[in-house]
Each structure stands twice: as C-alpha cells, then as structure tokens.
A and B are shown apart, each in its own frame.
Chain A
Amino acid sequence: MTRAIVTHDLVKIYPRRDRPWWRPAGPRRVAAPAVAGLRLTIPAGQVTGLLGLNGAGKTTTIRMLSTLLRPTSGSATVDGLDLVRDAREIRRRINMIAGGERMTYARLTGRENLWYFGQLYDVPRARLKARIGELLALVGLEHAADQRVEQYSKGMRQRLSIARGLINEPAYLLLDEPTLGLDAPIARDLRAVVAELARGGVGVLLTSHYLAEVEQLCARVHVIAAGRLVAQGTPAELTALTERRHTVEITLAAPAPAADQAVQALSVRTGAQVTAARDDELRPRYTVRHRHDLAGELATAVVAAGGAIVRLEVTPPTLEDAVLALADAARRPEAVPA
C-alpha cells in the first residue's frame, strides 16, 4: 500500500440559513458548497501545496482531512484508513497547524502546554520529556518555556502552536497558513523544519498566501477554485500554464520619438502587450508583456533608435500569476484548464 492521504470526490456543503424561521416563504436553508468533488493525493515524504483564492475551499479541505469536519459525500483515506470510520486512529497519525489561531492554553506555560497535549496524544512519559525539550529548542522557545503563554508575543504563540502540532510526531502534517504573522527569520526556520520533516518521510499539505514559500517547499501543487481542482503539477509546470508571462520594464533617460516607434514596432511584430507611462521623474517607461523574454530584443531596438536606457527589469512569470490566471479561468467554466 502506498503511504498517502487520498481523497475521492470529496464534497463539503455547509447548510446556510437563507431566511429567519418565522418567515414562511421560500426555502429556509440553502446549500453552500465549499468543496465540490475534490480529488487529491498527498504522498508521504514530500510537501504538497494547496493553493487558491480566499473562499476556494482550502481551509475546509484541511479541516476535513484533519477529521474536524465530516465530508458531506465522497471519501478520503490516510494510509488506507477511512477518514470517518477510523477517525481516532487517523488522529494519532496527523496533526494540524493553523496560522494566527490560538490553539494553546494561555494560562499554562509553554512547557505545560506541550506536556498536556503530549498526554492527549498518549506520548509515552519517558519520550515526552525529551520530545518537549526538542520541540522547544526547535521553535526557539527554550528561554520562555516556563513563562505563561498569556505573556508571549503573537510570534511566540505561533511558534508554540507549531511545537504543539509536532508533539505526536505526525506522519502527516496539515499546515494552514503556518507562517502567518511570523517574523521573517522564524518563518525561514519553519520552512527549514518543514523541508526537513518531509525529507524524514512526513507528508505535508501546505496552504499559504506566501507563494514564494510554496514554490520553495512544494514538490507538487494543487490549485483549487470554488472547491474544485482546476490544475495540478510542479510549481514550474503550473507557472508555465499561465499566459501572464515575462514582464520587461524599461525606463529611458529622456523622451525619444524614434525609440517609442521602435517599441511599438516590436509590439506589432511579436504581439507583445505594451504599456507606456512616465515614472516619478517624468521619464518614459515601457512595460512589455510576452510569453517569451523580450528584454534583449527590446533593448537592442531602443538603443538602435537612439534611446538611452537608465533601467531595465525583467520579471519572470510566477506561481502567483498562475494561481490568479487559473482562478480567473475557473470563474468562466468554459475556460477551465484541463
């Protein structure tokens, strides 16, 4: 059996009250699908990304996979165990860390919190003491281990929440915006921890608004929109899907009509999208978007036409472009990529 979390046509519909119960006309409850037939595979030993705009169904998916919510229909298995039927056994194997959420006891110290959660996960007493020490060191809270959590900063609480999520040495870790609100060095350390966990065999599902984080960590990424899977692949494969490609921004020292004509001619010849504007010092600035990197061709044409370039910047297509393009496409069903 392959070690993985596998979902089959997972659906979650939230009943929403459409009108107060005392008003007679119309349906009182309407179905609000948050996840609509999702098929995912989260293998052990790698980080899998789950991306989408707000309301796409990422958090609902994570809550279902963590057994907090039951699917309305469809199913999911964790190493072959059924998400609903074997929920208690699955809870031993997984854990979830959600960014910006409290999830720890404010009036206990960091150490007491980890001890308590260790007890809830039945971590053997001999192992628990060592595990608490390891985790406090891992998240950099050794100095504050015996301080009450109510005295912690937001970042310290989040770091403790991360330690809580690792207390049971989970085989699968579900991360919902785990670096939200963390300082850059701590976020970097967390990314290193996640990468290390994946190398050690842990399957990680990551949602994040920091797409650089996803590009850095994820072997595969699933993009969802309106609760449906709209694309999947490696970050590079998804990036290549987008039509919002290379962006070249070129700024000239002074207005030059010949250079302007050269840029327009390049646009006509290659089909590139060109936007002309002025920068803060009123110098001409052209933004050229095309599926290929036109920086060399553009610079040659401008210089040949007598233009003096003061700034040239090339922005390659990003995963963010891909997610936005795929989400846009999902809003127009006929344009959803296969």
Chain B
Amino acid sequence: MKGSADQSVSLSLPADISWVPLVQSVIENGAPVFGLPRNKAMMLALSAEEIVVHLAGIARGTRIDFRLEPGGWHVLCKFSFKADPSDLWAMNLVTKTDVLEEIDNLGLLVAVRAVDGFTLGLEGETLHLTLRKDRDYPVVKPGPIEPVDTRGDLTIVRDPEPELIKAACIKALGIYTRDVVPRSFVTPGMVVDMVEQMDLEIAIAVDEIGVLAGMICWQASSEQGIGFSGPYVFVKDDRAGEILTDHLINTVARTRAMGLFSDSATSSLVTEGFESLGHLNMIQTDGRTVKQEVWYRHLKEDVGASVWAHRAYAEFLRTAYDRQVLMRDLKIVEGQIEGKGERLPERSVFSVELRADAGKATLSPMVTGLDAAQCISRHVETLLRENFFNIFIPIDLAHGWQAAMGQAIMDNGFVPRMVLPHGGKSDVLVFQHG
C-alpha cells in the first residue's frame, strides 16, 4: 500500500536509441517481479521502446528520468524530463514533424495501443508521461441477482475483508447495468488491490446478521474534487442507499475536498442532497447513446470566486452559475488565441487521458500556441479514427490562457456541456465533441 517502502526501479539516461535495450530489459525483468505476467511485461516494454525512440527523435540527448513502479494492481512506467514549453509540441498524442508535413508522427499513439492507461502532464517545466499496464485477474460474469430482505439495523463494515469486497462487486454487477458500474468490478481481485493500494475507497453496509446490503466507492478526481460511483444496494431496504451516501459524505466532509461528483450514480442515490449538473451524451461501443447525468454536491459553503471566461461561452457560464446559485465574477478574456500582439508559441500542446473501453478521450490544454485550433482538429480526427467517440476538453477557469482557448475549441465542433464547481484549481468548464 501507499506509504510502504519504495520498491521502484529507476534509471537516468539520455534520450538516445542506444539505451532502448536497457529500458526494455529493466521492464521485461522488473515488471514480472511486480506481478505482471511475462506477456504483459513484453507489451509494456514495447510501448516504452516507442516512447524512448520518440524522445530520441524529438529531443536527442535530453536527460530522461525513468521509473518502473509497482502499483499493487498495475505496473507503471514513468518518464519525466525537462523541456522548454515551446519545444513540447512533439509530445502531443498526434503531431506532425513539421506543420506543413503530411506524414504523422504516431510514436506515442502506437505506445498507447499496447497499454491500459496513458497520461501525459506538465508540472512546471517537467513533462511527465506515464504508461500503465494492469495485472491479470480472474473475470467474473454474474447473472441477474435479485435484492434480498434484511434483518435489523444496517451498519458500515470497518475494514472489510477481501472476500466481502469481491462479493459486493459481483452483487453490483448482477443488479446494476454496466454503465453505472466501474469496469474494474468485473475483476473483483483488482478492486481488492485498488482498495489496499488506497487508489479506491469503499464502504460496505451489512445487516444485523451480516447480509451484504450495499456498497459505495470513491476516489479523488482532482485536488478539490472526489468522484464516486453507486450507491449499489443489494437489499430491499431503502435505507441502504442513504446510509452509504451519508457515510461517504461524512467521511470526506472534513477533508480538503470541496465537492463530490458522479457520472455513474445509481437510481439508489438519494438525489435530494445533490444537484444535477446536466447530462453527458456517451456513445457506446454498440453505437447507442446513453445520457449520463452528472450529480454534484458541495461539501463546504461556497464563498464566491472570480473566473476567467471567453465571450464565446460567457452566456453559457452565466446561465449555469445562475442555475447553480454560484456567485462568480466573470473576467472576460479579450480576443481569440491570436490575440492582440501577445507572443504565443507557434504550437500548442495537449495532455491526453484515454479510456479505450469507454471510447473516451480527455484532452487538457498544457500550452497554448498559435495553432490551437489546428492542433485540436488533428487530435479529433485521429481520435475518431481510433474509435474514441467521446471526446472531452475540460478547461480550468482559474487560468486566463485556458479560458481563451474556448473559441478554438468551439470552432472544432465542441459544445460547452457543464460547469464542475471547484473541479480543478477553480471551476472547470467541460466541452464535449459533437
């Protein structure tokens, strides 16, 4: 679990293809030590090879810090290196070696295909790229399960044992539709390890004689926000959903979090304590569109704030803030990206988070350049081609430069969907493609 002794393996090397075999060797030999099967270790090594080759191509000789890290239920390959923001453009998931060149440099995209998770983020001048490969777990496919009766009071189990967690995952899968159940539930062993690793928190309720009554789970989604799924209720007792939700709120009420969010709340959620932020239209792999309602709950008294906004979506914000009774001073950024004599880098950079199973891609602006609109366009084109039909761009309204990208985002077929209060450093405006 987190906080235990550091087991990771580190390398510091120049970005040069000569070092590819060393990186591969560390992964091929190290990842199995962390519990990854050999075939998965090989795939992770292949992805890492693409990354090193890519870095060697765009920034030969740059110092790379590489870490192979156990995560309980997964193994991580972390690359970090310092770079000037104007040189980061090549770290876009899709980019071209030259703006006028028609041949895509798809090294990163190739790397992404072989792993279970890919994130790219910027912290100061340091770029962090992480590949995640999950361990193997038995998959369960429970049939339909009917809610049962309970006896006596319902209570929350302190430190539930692994078998109880697994049983709860199976019950949730048997009672609820897949769109409101985390994908990890099909591998209950993974959920146990995620809880052990504190990557996921859960609460399980039982009745007087120990019958499983329900479960709710949550995890930090940003510095100020907590995302939750559920509550999953396995009994006929209506109180279970309320008890679980109250337990969640009481657990996080005195933490740093400002709010609770859920785009996978069940019908067992007592919604009177929550506010609906609206719907996301999620295109499923079978082509159906499912409307996902997003629920929100402030955990603290909102004291008002100032946020940046662009005229293109200022009215949307005013309407949303009025509906949510949130007091915000809008500071309007003038012009578009190509604004008023400001010296912007030529090229933009977006970080990306992909969930292949949900066909979901989230692009986050890291550097605004003069090519913002074209950069977004290229990403969208490639992502759609790769079957990522649910494309989102969240912008943090704490930052004027992100707010200023609104026009470029909307020009590429995105529409503002909802405002997540305190979803980032400040409120986050979420755009969805299509």
Query: Do chains A and B interact in one complex?
Result: no
Residues of B within 8 A of A (CB): none
Residues of A within 8 A of B (CB): none
